[in-house]
Amino acid sequence: MCGIIGVTGSADALDILLDGLERLEYRGYDSAGVVLIDDEGISRVRIADGTHSVATLRKVTPEADHGQPAGIGHTRWATHGHPSERNAHPHLDCSGHVALVHNGIIENHAEIAAELVAAGHTLASDTDTEVLAHLIEDALKTGLSLTEAVRRVLRDVRGAFALGVVSMDDPELIVAARRVSPLIIGALGGQSFLASDIPALLERTRDLMVLDDDQIAELRPGSIVVTTIDGVVVTPPPLHVTWDVEAAQMGGFDDFMTKEIHEQPQAIADTLRGRVDADGRIVLDQLDLSDDDLRAITQVSVVACGSSFHAGLVAKYAFERWMRLPVEVDIASEFRYRDPVLHENALVVGVSQSGETVDTLQAMRKARESGAKVIVVSNVVDSSMAREAHGVLYTHAGPEVGVAATKTVVAQIVALELLGLRIAQVRGTLSADEIATELAALGSMGAIVAEAIARDDAVARVAAELADAREFFFLGRGTGYPTALEGALKLKEISYLHAEGYPGGELKHGPLAVIEPGCVVVAVATGGPLKEKMLSNVAEVKSRGATVVLVVDDGDALAAASGDYVLRVPAAPVLMAPIKDVVPLQQFAYHLARARGLDVDRPRNLAKTVTVE
Ligand code: M6R
């Protein structure tokens, strides 16, 4: 997830770009850059300075500012290519006449890059984006206008994009285009603007338009023409923004946690994007493990902390079913101080949103020293873990600001399941048809999660009824068990209420003694072979006086009848069920925390990234 901005027709173009980039930093800050353009030429400044990228850019750009009235800017969340100045946007074509900024992923960039290099182009970065500048360069050489050149190129690329493109041939013009990634445009007085999100433009205009998929906008000073990819002129519906800037930074949501819960379908789609080729082969290109390496694996060990550990536990069920290999999942702080037995052909998978959690990092180092192949599932490009592991599998959830992990957890489960299917594909433990079925199921999870999120009101009503409760147990069986652990962690973390997660079958081995009237038991009883057994456990706690909240699949009246309160979710295959069953549990924790007047984004005593033991 990156942020883009553009302006034409302004005496303050540079200030508008820099102010906008500051407002877009929540979308990533691995690097930042601007291009300013007029009849004299293109001036480009790029900085890769981590969290300070935009601030440093502001310090150094005055030298490049000669009052140019137009420009484009970018703040980067690295996906393809390290966070570095070389990979920072804007990117140029070979001649330096075309510059562009991009948010999204160009899925077929590798094949396009190979063709461009063979045709004599020189690529100056490791990004997926740069190919677009060179494709536009070639299209312009055929005599097309910039708009037509962009239109032609967009027909040939796959993936997601929001683009701003400028060219020396027509320096007042910015061409904007969108597919999947968000893009808004607006014009006021003699100026026209584009940006990834509303906060970037709110100080300039409150009257905006949202570009739709496959629409292209021509921005000239004070005027905008929008066409479809086929060249038909259209008028996007106007949007008048009434929020203030602070609210707008959270996209109109009350807090980052709510925003990030709502971003889960996008996180799932972005994590899946470009990872299956036309032949149905799963492509995890930064894994750096050959098919022979994957065939040689004899055991899998997952190491992680907190919510990432829960994602690893979900993966265990899928890995064992699909790969038919022994799988262990360890809390990293335990693994690193044990003497774990790792065979020569062990695969150790670190799972970490930040890629910096010290216990997971040390556990991975220990595994590496013992000769195992070590990979990491990380949301942050070029994190310490990504640098130290043999290979990386990135989740593409975008930056997560709320301390409570939400969208990154579902993205981790999706990424781990892709890994499991890849290994099963190479080892032949699943047939091509079975792989295709599982991939289709994974592909449908975004829509299912969106449906679950839309039921927030129902969850809020249940939370309001239980606002005075102080003791919570979360129960689940099979993949419902890690879901229960995650539900309990979310509740503890942001509401400061006591919550325990347990496998349903363990109750009678001790915890049942604690159950009494006043206790709330949240039971995950969605589909799967263990549902009836789960409902027996529910009967056990009910008979001891607990109040029961059941998470059940749509249409399961029988299960629903066992609960005092019911949270319904759409059904999904059992190995993927946690991806959607976790949603009402996130919302339940959220509403209980809000009812207690707590800051859900910054819970006490906790930090987003834990780099101390
Ligand atoms: O960055 P990591 O995924 O390695 O972080 C691990 C845990 O600290 C993290 O998941 C933590 O448990 C979350 N705050 C839970 O919401």
How does pLDDT run across 527-584, given as a tens digit for each residue? 888 999 999 999 999 999 999 999 999 999 988 899 999 999 999 999 999 999 999 9
Task: Write out 453-518 in H/E/C secondary structure.
Answer: HCCHHHHHHHHHHCCCCCEEEEEECCCHHHHHHHHHHHHHHHHCCEEEEEEHHHHHHCHHHHCCCC
Predicted confidence (pLDDT) at residue 428 exceeds the cutoff of 90: yes
What would the two tokens of residue 69 be? 């009235």
Distance of alpha carbon 6 from the chain centroid: 24
Of the listed ranges 26-30, 103-107, 247-251, 254-258, the least confidently predicted one is 247-251
How close is the Cα of 408 to the center of ligand 1, in Å?
9
The phi, psi pair for 426, rounded to 5°, reads -70, -40
* CB of 378 shorter than 6 A to ligand 1: no
Tell me which of 349, 610, 611 to substitute to probe ligand 1's pocket, judged by most ligand atoms within 8 Å of the beta carbon: 610
3-state secondary structure of 351: strand
Closest residue by Cα to residue 80 from 311, 394, 424: 394
Q: What is the pLDDT of residues 45-64, one digit of tens each?
A: 999 998 789 999 999 999 99
Interior angle at CA 173, CA 223 and CA 183, nearest 5 = 70
Q: State the distance from the centre of ligand 1 to the C-alpha of 21, rounded, in angstroms.
A: 28
Please, which pLDDT band fits residue 312 given cuts at 50, 70 and 90?
Answer: very high
Mean pLDDT of 106-117: 95
Task: Kindly give the pairing relationship between strand 215-220 and strand 207-210.
Answer: unpaired
Q: Where are the beta strands (DSSP E) in 65-196?
A: 70-76, 91-92, 98-106, 159-167, 174-179, 184-188, 191-195
Please report which residue ranges of 288-376 form alpha helices under DSSP H. 291-296, 306-323, 332-335, 358-369
Q: Tell me which residue has tokens 């979360």.
A: 474
Does residue 547 line the site of ligand 1, with CB under 6 A? no
Q: How far apart are CA 388 and CA 586, in angstroms?
A: 32
How far away, in angstroms, is 318 Cα from ligand 1 center? 22
For residue 305, indicate whether it is catalytic: no
CA R_g for the chain? 25
Cβ of 379 below 6 Å from ligand 1: no
User: What is the percent of the chain with per-residue pLDDT over 70, rounded to a whole number?
Assistant: 98
CA of 166 to the centre of ligand 1 (A): 41
pLDDT, average across residues 587-599: 97
For the Cβ of 587 lying below 6 angstroms from any atom of ligand 1, the answer is: no
Selected catalytic residue, list 2, 259, 366, 407: 2
Q: Which domains does the chain have, with CATH numbers?
A: 3-247 (3.60.20.10), 256-450 (3.40.50.10490), 456-595 (3.40.50.10490)
Q: Which two tokens stand for residue 184?
A: 């808004």
CB 120 within 8 A of CB 158: no
pLDDT tens-digit map of 366-422:
999 999 999 999 988 777 898 899 999 999 998 788 999 999 999 999 999 999 999
In sequence order, the β-bridge partners of residue 188 are 191
Average pLDDT value for the chain: 94
pLDDT, position 110: 93
Give the pLDDT score at 245. Answer: 67
**How much helix, strand and coil, in percent to the nearest 5, is found in the chain?**
40, 25, 35
pLDDT confidence of residue 344: 81
Candidates 165, 170, 103; CA nearest to 134 is 165
519 is catalytic: no
Confidence of residue 24 (pLDDT cuts 50, 70, 90): confident
Any atom of ligand 1 within 6 Å of the Cβ of 501: no
Q: Is 127 in the pocket of ligand 1 (CB under 6 A)?
A: no
CB 485 less than 6 A from any atom of ligand 1: no
Distance, CA of 276 to CA of 476 (rounded, Å): 32
Q: Is residue 308 lining ligand 1, measured as CB closer than 6 Å?
A: yes
352 Cβ closer than 6 Å to some ligand 1 atom: yes
Which mutation among 256, 261, 308 tests ligand 1's pocket best, with the greatest number of atoms within 8 A of CB?
308
Q: Which two tokens stand for residue 569?
A: 């979710």
Task: Judge whether 338 and 322 are in contact, CB under 8 Å.
Answer: no
Helix (H, G, I), strand (E, B) or coil at 580: helix
Cβ–ligand 1 contact at 303 (below 6 Å) = no
Give φ, ψ of 174 to 5 degrees: -120, 130
pLDDT score, position 220: 98
**Ligand 1, pocket-test mutation among 303, 307, 358, 613, most atoms within 8 A of CB:** 307
- CA 427 → CA 295, 296, 417, 424, distances in Å? 5, 9, 15, 5
Share of the chain above pLDDT 90, in %: 84
Q: Which atom of ligand 1 is closest in space to residue 403's alpha carbon?
A: 14
Q: Phi and psi at residue 325, in whole multiples of 5°?
A: -125, 150
Smallest CA separation from ligand 1 atom 14, residue? 404
Query: Of residues 94, 533, 542, 608, which has the active-site annotation?
Result: 608
In a 13 Å sphere around the CA of 342, the CA atoms on its Cβ side amount to 28
What is the pLDDT averaged over residues 433-455?
98
The per-residue pLDDT for 248 is 60
* pLDDT, tens only, 214-256: 999 999 999 999 999 999 999 998 888 876 666 666 777 999 9
Q: How far is the CA of 404 from the centre of ligand 1 (A)?
A: 7
Q: For ligand 1, is residue 383 a contact (CB within 6 Å)?
A: no
Is the distance from CB of 304 to CB of 332 less than 8 angstroms? yes
- Quick one: tokens of 93? 């074509």
Question: For the segment 478-514, what is each residue's pLDDT rounded down to a tens digit?
Answer: 999 999 999 999 999 999 999 999 999 999 999 999 9
Task: Provide the 8-state DSSP code for 236.
Answer: P
Centre of ligand 1 from the C-alpha of residue 574, in Å: 24
- CA-CA distance, 460 to 493, in Å (whole number)? 18
Q: Is the distance from the beta carbon of residue 45 to the nearest atom of ligand 1 less than 6 Å? A: no
Task: Give 353 Cα–ligand 1 centroid separation in angstroms.
Answer: 7
Contact 399, 196 (CB under 8 A): no
Q: Does ligand 1 lie within 6 Å of residue 354's CB atom?
A: yes
* pLDDT the model gives residue 180: 81
| Contact in structure between 188 and 87 (CB atoms under 8 Å) | no
Ligand 1 atom with least separation from CA of 404: 16
Which of 303, 305, 489 to mutate to test ligand 1, by most ligand atoms within 8 A of the CB atom? 305
* Protein residue with least CA distance to atom 4, ligand 1: 352
Per-residue pLDDT, 117: 97
- The CA distances from residue 581 to 88, 310, 486, in Å, are 38, 13, 10
Q: What is the H or E stretch that residue 155 is in?
A: helix 146-156
Going from the Cα of 610 to the center of ligand 1, the distance in angstroms, rounded, reads 8
| pLDDT value of position 434 | 97
How far does the centroid of ligand 1 lie from the alpha carbon of residue 307, in Å? 5
Does the beta carbon of 491 sit less than 6 angstroms from any atom of ligand 1? no
